[in-house]
Structure 1
Amino acid sequence: MFEALKEQPADKILALMQSFKEDPREDKLDLGVGVYKDAHGNTPIMRAVKTAEKRLWEEQETKAYTGLAGDPLFAERMRELVLGDTVEAGTVSAVATPGGTGAVRQGFDMVRMANPDAVIHVSDPTWPNHLSILKHMGMPVAPYRYFDSESGGIDFAGMIADIVQAKPGDVVLLHGCCHNPTGANLSLVEWKHVVEKINEVGAIPMIDLAYQGFGDGLEADAAATRLVAESCPETIIAASCSKNFGIYRERTGILMAVAQDPAKKKVVQGTLAYLNRQNFSFPPDHGARLVLTVLGDAELRADWEAELEDMRTGMLELRRVLADELRQRSNSDRFEFLAEHRGMFSRLGVSPEMVEKLRADHGVYMVGDSRINVAGLNRDTVPKLAQAIVDAGI
């Protein structure tokens, strides 16, 4: 049997990580891996999470299964965090998943069960794993225009023109905030226009919310998702706790399905639980328990929010400093968009050849599409990156 298997293409980001490890240069710079790093290059455990782990170690009395959907209180706390009081609790079905990626996969699975002919409309570009999962599942994909490499902004007219080509029952996949890989976000006015068009064509919005709290703040970053959920008959939301709680390896995510008709909740909730059973049975609980502990304790939550805000504003400051350095060194405002983008990532909009030149000549590692992880920088390395960009003639 095994001889029939074919070698799979290497994951580009994982390959980049390996190349970085093997590079002997001491001044090399890793801007490829999508994890938050502090000024010392570490991915720290957040203070509130550390306290919650200690509390959990002292108080937890069992490691028994929680249920196919995970702990209902985790789902309730996450619903409050993501959706606030925008929609009634009775309209939301939810299951815990192994990370945001697990939630995305389960969301696609549910779409395929409900409508095997559904086309998934994705932004160009989007997170590569969206496309990889959809290809593996054999689901049809249609790109919609999104990023304008020349301006570093959004081709909104092109986006709308493509979205209105969706058919009833199709799914439009949207990034709730901090678009990956570009960092370019829609304004709330633009979001309202997108919602109108999705409703006009009868498509279903699916939101990947992986970076709540990393852009403009917890509430501001949830505003678009809340707008969609309250404005559309049905909404699918895949949310991750990896970034904003810093629990990457705990694989903590949630899939929510909002149906304005509460009569649909029983069958939707049952379907989500069924999919969990088929794919991994019971979801992991440790990370979910940490999130639940932090969100359920006023003191821990306040400390978590304060640390998250420090992380967010630190990334914004790095963006400003990088834009300033590039303006001064290049005598051009071409990269001003970096200060306007939000989240961990920005796309420089340069060719793969230039990306390779930066790696070979300057030890600057980024994804081939020129996505950089702003959180991989600090005040000492920003000038190095800026000078490398200028020296490469970008």
Structure 2
Amino acid sequence: MFENLKPQPADKILALMQMYRDDPREQKVDLGVGVYKNAEGVTPVMRAVKVAEQRIIDEQATKAYTGLAGDPAYADAMIDLILGNAVERDKIAAAATPGGTGAVRQAFELIKMANPGARVFVSDPTWPNHVSILKYVGIEAVVYRYFDASTGAVNFDGMLEDLKGAKEGDVVLLHGCCHNPTGANLNSTQWQAVVELLNERGLIPMVDIAYQGFGDGLEEDAAGVRLVASSVPECLIAASCSKNFGIYRERTGLLMAISQQGDAEGLNQKTLAYLNRQNYSFPPDHGARVVTTILNDPELRADWKQELEETRLGMLALRQQLADELQRLSGSDRFGFIAEHRGMFSLLGTTPELVEKMRVDAGIYMVGDSRLNIAGLNAQSVPVLAKAIIDAGV
């Protein structure tokens, strides 16, 4: 049996991480892996998480299963965080998942079950795992234009033109905020135009929101997904707690299925539980319980929000420092878009050859599509990166 297996493509980011570890140079910069790091290069455990975990250890009396959809209190807390009052609670079915990736996978499974002929339109570029999972589950992926490399902004006219080629029942995958990998986001006017197009053409939106709080703030980052969820008949939302709670290894996510029609919430909820059962049965609970504890405790929630805000402002400061340094070295404002982007990532919009040149010449490790992780920088490494960019002729 095993002799029939075929080698699978290597994960480019994991391969890049190994190359970085093997590089003996002291002055090397890791901008590849999509994990937040502080100025010391550490992914810290947030203060509120530590307190919540200790409280759980002291108070938890059982490790029995919660339910196929996870603890309802976790779903309630996350729905409140992401959607606020945008949608009535009884219109929302929700299930805990192993991370945001698990939520994305379950959403694609639900799409295939509900409409086997649906295509999923994904931005060009998008998070590579979107396309990889779609291919694996047998759903056709269609790209729509999104990023304009010449300006570093959203190619919104191209986006709308391409989405007009979608058919009724097709799914449009949108990034809720802090677009990965580009860092270029839709503004409020553009979100409204997307909603109008979705409704005109009978398209189903799926929003992947993995970085709430990393862009312009918790409420501001949720504005797009709230507008979509409250304005269309049906939508899917895949959420992750890895970044904004810093609990990457706890694999804590949530999938929401929203329907404004009748009693569809009951059927949707049963379907989400069914899909969990077929895949991994009961979802992990520890991270979900940590999140629930924090969000339901006013003091812990306030401390978490403060630390998250410090993280967000720190990344914005690094963005501005990098844009300023590039302007100083180049005598041009052509890199100003870096300060305008939001979240952990920016796309330089250069070639794989120049990315490789920066790695070889200066020890700068970024993904070949020129995605750089802003959170991999600190005040000392920003000038190193800026010089490498200019020296490479980007």
Residue type of the partner of 2:269? Q
| Residues 70-85 of structure 1: pairs in structure 2 closer than 5 A | 70-85=70-85
What CA distance in whole angstroms lies between the structure 2 residues aligned with 1:309 and 1:2? 49
Residue type of the partner of 1:22? D
| Residues 33-48 of structure 1: pairs in structure 2 closer than 5 A | 33-48=33-48
| Residues 107-186 of structure 1: pairs in structure 2 closer than 5 A | 107-186=107-186
Deviations 1:130-180 (A, max 9, x none): 001011111111100000000000110000001111111100000000000
- What secondary structure sits across from 1:239 in the alignment? strand
8 Å Cα contact 1:164/1:198 also seen in 2: no
Find the counterpart in structure 2 of residue 87 from structure 1: 87
Matched, 1:203 2:192: no
Find the counterpart in structure 1 of residue 294 from structure 2: 294
Matched, 1:259 2:259: yes
Matched, 1:269 2:269: yes
Aligned-pair distance for 1:229? 0.3
Find the counterpart in structure 1 of residue 377 from structure 2: 377
- What secondary structure sits across from 2:222 in the alignment? helix
- What secondary structure sits across from 2:263 in the alignment? helix
Deviations 1:27-84 (A, max 9, x none): 1100000000001000000000011011111111110000000000100000000000
What CA distance in whole angstroms lies between the structure 1 residues aligned with 2:87 and 2:393? 50
Residue type of the partner of 1:8? Q
Find the counterpart in structure 1 of residue 20 from structure 2: 20
Moved more, 161-170 or 361-370: 161-170
Residue type of the partner of 1:331? G
- What secondary structure sits across from 2:7 in the alignment? coil
What CA distance in whole angstroms lies between the structure 2 residues aligned with 1:165 and 1:257? 25
- What secondary structure sits across from 1:32 in the alignment? coil
8 Å Cα contact 1:215/1:343 also seen in 2: yes
- What secondary structure sits across from 2:207 in the alignment? strand
Aligned-pair distance for 1:332? 1.0
8 Å Cα contact 1:90/1:262 also seen in 2: no
Deviations 1:172-215 (A, max 9, x none): 00000000000000001100000100111101000000000000
Detail structure 1 runs of 4+ shifted over 2 Å in the superposition.
Answer: none
Aligned-pair distance for 1:262? 4.0
- What secondary structure sits across from 1:35 in the alignment? coil
Find the counterpart in structure 2 of residue 4 from structure 1: 4
8 Å Cα contact 1:126/1:181 also seen in 2: yes
Aligned-pair distance for 1:324? 0.1
Deviations 1:275-309 (A, max 9, x none): 00000000000000000000010000000000000
Gaps of 5+ in 2: none
What CA distance in whole angstroms lies between the structure 1 residues aligned with 2:229 and 2:154? 23
Aligned-pair distance for 1:108? 0.4
- What secondary structure sits across from 1:254 in the alignment? strand
Find the counterpart in structure 1 of residue 393 from structure 2: 393
Matched, 1:352 2:355: no
Residue type of the partner of 1:118? A
Find the counterpart in structure 2 of residue 303 from structure 1: 303
What CA distance in whole angstroms lies between the structure 1 residues aligned with 2:13 and 2:135? 18
TM-score normalized by the length of structure 1:
1.00
What CA distance in whole angstroms lies between the structure 2 residues aligned with 1:354 and 1:393? 8
Matched, 1:285 2:319: no
- What secondary structure sits across from 1:166 in the alignment? coil
Identity of aligned residues (%): 67
Aligned-pair distance for 1:392? 1.0
Residue type of the partner of 1:196? E
Aligned-pair distance for 1:382? 0.3
What CA distance in whole angstroms lies between the structure 1 residues aligned with 2:14 and 2:212? 24
- What secondary structure sits across from 1:64 in the alignment? coil
Gaps of 5+ in 1: none
What CA distance in whole angstroms lies between the structure 2 residues aligned with 1:18 and 1:54? 34
What CA distance in whole angstroms lies between the structure 1 residues aligned with 2:393 and 2:147? 22
8 Å Cα contact 1:16/1:32 also seen in 2: yes
Deviations 1:328-352 (A, max 9, x none): 0111111000000000000000000
TM-score normalized by the length of structure 2:
1.00
8 Å Cα contact 1:183/1:344 also seen in 2: yes
- What secondary structure sits across from 2:287 in the alignment? helix
**Count of residue pairs the alignment pairs up:** 394
8 Å Cα contact 1:178/1:345 also seen in 2: yes
- What secondary structure sits across from 1:180 in the alignment? coil
- What secondary structure sits across from 2:111 in the alignment? helix
